[in-house]
Structure 1
Amino acid sequence: MEPKRDKSHDGDQERISPVLLKSRTGEFDLESILFLKLRNLGIHDLGCIGECINLERLDLSGNNITNLAPLASLRLLSVLNLCANRISNLDPLRSCESLQNLNLAGNVLNSFECLYALQSLRKLENIRLKDNTYNYSNPVCRSTAYRAHVLEIFPNIKVLDGKCSMEGLDRTSGSYKNGQLVEHSDCKPWVEDNFWDIKRSNNAIVDEAYKQFNDVLHECRLLNNRATHVISQTERSMSLKKQSKQYAI
């Protein structure tokens, strides 16, 4: 099923820029960004995100991303959410050596060969290729032996699509019958609901600086809107004067 993308938040940014990253995080140095959530922004170009070399958590779900090349420099990235995009090639993720949790549900991965690029990620323990809660999937998931093939490619992962694998099984999440694993029908969420909530600092100075930054940012947006309005009015006035002169002639 084609994932529905909500473009009502912040408009379509299309390309990740330093301005977008700084406004979203409050950080002036891209290398200082450790946590980034850019959901449902209509992004199709990852732009300068590769400069955020210390990123640990990244949420890019619900966009229009096809090319993951800029992510290749993010060697400290441990959690990556790419669900509901248009991804068919995972090769750039080979160098994301710290990756532990990866959500790829709702993309266009067509074959098991697409997944081989992730085999070198020794820390990968949780991968999601389909999510029944949101009806997200990938073409590769249609195979009748889908789960068995994926577990063969990744023998060391602990969780696939929210269910524990045979290896690294949490015994409380399933039971054995006749030597086979019987999984419970309820799947664990990929991450907890509040996982992507930014944790505020207990430092009063940092909190005050953060508040002041947001206040200044708000004022800048208001000034920009006013300037745009004035420019529009001026252009309209000049256009009317030009038309009047033409009629006078």
Structure 2
Amino acid sequence: MNLLAEAFDWIFSPDRLSGSSPLPAAIALHLLYTFIAVALSAVIAVPLGYYIGHTGKGRNAAIAISGAARAVPSFGLILLLVLVMGVTQKPLAATIAFVLLGIPSILAGAYAGLEAVDRRVIDAARAVGMTEWQILVRVEIPLGLPLLIGGIRAGALQIVATVVLAAYVTLGGLGTYIIQGIPLSRYDMILGSAIVIVALALVLDGLFALLQQVVVPRGVAAGRTQDIRATSPRRRAVVGTSLQERKG
């Protein structure tokens, strides 16, 4: 309990606003790496996922590659890329590693979102004369957007946790305090930075969860509301009473 109090004292200490690595600057750098990696991952994974989801081609290969990529150790991947590309390219090497780790979740969300669309809806769109491009843009993408945001949400959480390792190759961020605190046995610093990282991940998760609800098409949201009302306890009770009266 004392250690937890010391960790919060470290976080809110005025010293965190000064020095060579102030806490706000470390948070900003951590978020910068995260947003750049998520954006690049989305640029690569979303078009590929949409192609797979719309055409059905390459799905098994995408699943296999995504599964293999999730099994790659983050720390080992960063060190490998730094060693291969050279110490002068550490920011680029780390960014590539973060992007590679974010692609599988976003790719899965993109093609799963399109695959989840009811085939009857797509057939109806074809029946009214829509082209394949119109079906993709006007039907499949809007209906599959919540699952895509869910994939980006998972990828962002994985990236924000992995960016901690950037400090090991002297790139800064919130992991710097953990790397510095271990040899100094500054457990308040280590726990304090861990708390900030967890809080940052929770905030990002909450924002993506909210966005995931916002992007649900109005027609789909209205249909869900009607379904909930139709299956409410009062409705079920009325239906059950009617059935009993008929049997009687």
TM-score, length basis structure 1: 0.26
Structure whose residues are more often strand by fraction: 1
TM-score, length basis structure 2: 0.26
* Higher normalized contact order (CA 8 Å, seq sep 6+, divided by chain length): 2
